[in-house]
Structure 1
C-alpha cells in the first residue's frame, strides 16, 4: 500500500476518543493513527461501539438507536464521550455527557453548546453494512443522508431544516385541532413559513446533488475500474422538474388544503421528496445486483467526502464499520490506496486485519 509522505495542509484528525461507562466499555481510550487505523477483535468486543461514539461526537446522535440511554453502560446512570480532534491545525475537545435522568449535555472546550452547534465541528462520513438501505429503504433515509451531508458544511441549512420541520408540525397540529373544534384552521402563516423554508432547502439539495454528480463517476471508477455511469437524481413531490419558488409552493399548499385537512398532514414539501440512484440511467434499486448496490453506496460516500473537502478545505474523518463483509479484496485495496494517497484519516473495523498498513487496535487484547 502507498504510504503518505507528509500530513496534508488541511485535514481533520481525531486525536483520541475516550469512553466512560459507554456501551460495553467502563473506561476505554483509543488514539487513532493520523491516517489508517484498523480496529479488530472478535464479535462482541465493542468495535461498532467505538464507531458509534465517533459518529455521535460528530452528529449528536447514534446511527444505531434513537434512544440515547442505550449508549450508557448497563447498570450505570451516566456515561461520557470525550473526543479530541484537530481542525485547521487547532486542537479542540468535544465532551458529551449522557444521563438517564437528565438527557445529554454537550460541551466544546468545556463551553456548553446545543446539538445544532455541534453539527459541523467534527465532520465524519460513515459507511456501515446497513447503508444498503440508502438505496433499498424508505425515502426518509435518503433525505436524512442529504440533510446530514449539507448540515456538516452549512450551519444555516441545519437551522432551516429545524425551522421548516417545526412549521410543518405546527401546520399539522392546526389541522388536527380543527377536526376537534370544527373551526376552519388559519394556515396562511404556516404556509408562508413552509414555502420560504422549502425554497431554500430544495435549492441547497439540488446544488449538493449537482456537485456530487461531478465526482460520483470518478469514485466508482476507482473502486471498479470500469466506466459505469452513476448518478443521483432528485425527485420532487408534485413536479417532474424540481421547483423552488415561493409562488409554486404556496399554490400547491393551497390546492391541497382539503386533502391535508382530512389526513392532518402536509402533503407537499421537501419532507416528502426523494432521491433516485441511477446506474447507466437505470434505477439501481431495481436493476443493480447487490454487489453493484454496495459499490454504488460506497462511491456515494466517497463523493460525499469529496464534497465536504471542496466546501470546507478539509477531508472529513471516514468511518468504515465492518467493511470486510462488504467488499472483495481488490475493491478494498483500491479504496484504501485512494484514502492513503489523499491522506484521509480512516478508521476501519473488522474481525481480521484488512491490510498490512496502518495502526492496529486489537480489542481482543483487553487493552
Structure 2
C-alpha cells in the first residue's frame, strides 16, 4: 500500500496544549501511519487531541481533563499543514484558544463556525475509554449517530437546529402551565418524522456493514445494532403527546421524541455486556462500518486517531483489528506503549513522546 488517499497532514505545530509546550511534528510526504510511542502521561493522547481540535474545533476529552492551555500560559496554538491527495499544494489549518475564546482559520481566513462538511479534515477516533460510549448517556451514542449521518445527509444539521428551537419553545410553554404547548406540536411532529426517517435509513446500512465486520470476532456472534427512535414503535407520537400532557406539564419538558433516541448493541433482545477490551473492538467496528458507509457515498477517507488500541486485547484479537485498519487507504495516528512496534515499514513515521517532548 502506498501513500494514503484523501487529505494528509504533512506537519503539526503545537504550542501550550496541556503538557505539550512546544511540539513540531514534521511528516514529510504524508506517511500512512504515524506511530507515537512513550509511557503513560507522556503526551501521546494530547497529540491526538491536537489533530482532533484542528478537525472538529473541540476536544474529545471531558472537563475532568482540565484546561486545554498549559498551566501558566494564556494561549494555545495548533497549526497543521495538509495536502489533498494528488495535489502539490498545501493548505494551513489553525486552531487557537485564548481568553477571548476559540478561533479557527483556513489559509488565514477565519472560520468561526466551520460546518463539518466544509472541514478539510474529517477524523474518526477510537479513544482510551470506549465503554463510556457504549454504557454512558444516550447523548453520546446519539451524537455518534448524528455526526456520521451528517456527512451523508447535510440537511440533518438544519433539522436538528430547528428541533432544538421548537423544543425550547414547547418546553417553555409547558413550564408556564401548558398553555400554548400544543401550538408547537405540528412542527415538533414534522421534525420528528424527518429526523427519524434519516436516522433509520442510515442505521440500516451502518448495521449491515457492522454485522459483516463482526463475523471475525466470536464474542459478537448473534449481536445486533438496534435503533430506538425515542418513543415506542407501536405508538403514534401525537397520541403520546396528548395523553402525556399532564406529566409533561408537571416536569416542564417534552419527555419523548427524537431528542431521546438511542443506539443499542443487543443479543437475543437484551443489551450486550462486554469487557473493556471487547468494548474497544466494538467501537472500532462501529467506526469502520461508518467509514464504509461514507466511502460508498463518495467521501474521501477519514484521518484516524487510534489511542492505545492494543491495551486489554489478546494478541489474536489485536491482530484481527489491526488487519482491518491496515486495509484502509487513510492516514492513521497511532499511540502505543511499546518503543518498537512490530511491522514498521518505510511508509511509517515513528516518534517517541516523553515528558511532553518529542523526538523522531
Listed as ranges, the matches of 1:124-273 within 5 Å are 124-176=123-175, 178-179=176-177, 184-222=178-216, 224=217, 228-240=221-233, 248-273=236-261
What CA deviation, in whole Å up to 9, does each residue of 1:1-21 have, x standing for no partner?
xxx1x346x433233222122
Q: Which runs of 5+ in 1 are unaligned?
A: none
Higher fraction of helix: 1
Determine the structure 2 residue equivalent to 1:360. Answer: 350
Q: Determine which of 334, 337, 356 is the counterpart of 2:323.
A: 337
* TM-score between both structures, scaled by the size of structure 2: 0.86
What CA deviation, in whole Å up to 9, does each residue of 1:156-186 have, x standing for no partner?
212322221232223223323x15xxxx532
Mapped partners of 1:276, 1:227: distance in 2: 13
* TM-score between both structures, scaled by the size of structure 1: 0.84
SS at match of 2:9: strand
Mapped partners of 2:270, 2:278: distance in 1: 12
Determine the structure 2 residue equivalent to 1:277. Answer: 265
Q: Determine which of 60, 64, 72 is the counterpart of 2:61.
A: 64
Mapped partners of 2:265, 2:308: distance in 1: 23
The structural deviation recorded for 1:295 is 2.3
Give the paired residue count: 348
Q: Determine which of 102, 105, 114 is the counterpart of 1:104.
A: 102
Mapped partners of 2:169, 2:161: distance in 1: 12
Mapped partners of 1:68, 1:136: distance in 2: 20
Listed as ranges, the matches of 1:311-330 within 5 Å are 311-330=297-316
The structural deviation recorded for 1:225 is 7.1
Q: Determine which of 11, 33, 39 is the counterpart of 1:36.
A: 33
Distance 1:174 1:302, change over 3 A: same
- C-alpha root-mean-square deviation of aligned residues, in Å? 2.7
The structural deviation recorded for 1:52 is 1.3
The structural deviation recorded for 1:123 is 1.0
Mapped partners of 2:214, 2:314: distance in 1: 15
Q: Which runs of 4+ in 1 moved over 6 A?
A: none
Distance 1:173 1:16, change over 3 A: farther
The structural deviation recorded for 1:148 is 1.7
Distance 1:323 1:141, change over 3 A: same
The structural deviation recorded for 1:215 is 1.1
Distance 1:37 1:225, change over 3 A: farther
Distance 1:341 1:292, change over 3 A: closer
CA contact 2:276–2:312 (8 Å) conserved in 1: no
Mapped partners of 1:261, 1:154: distance in 2: 34
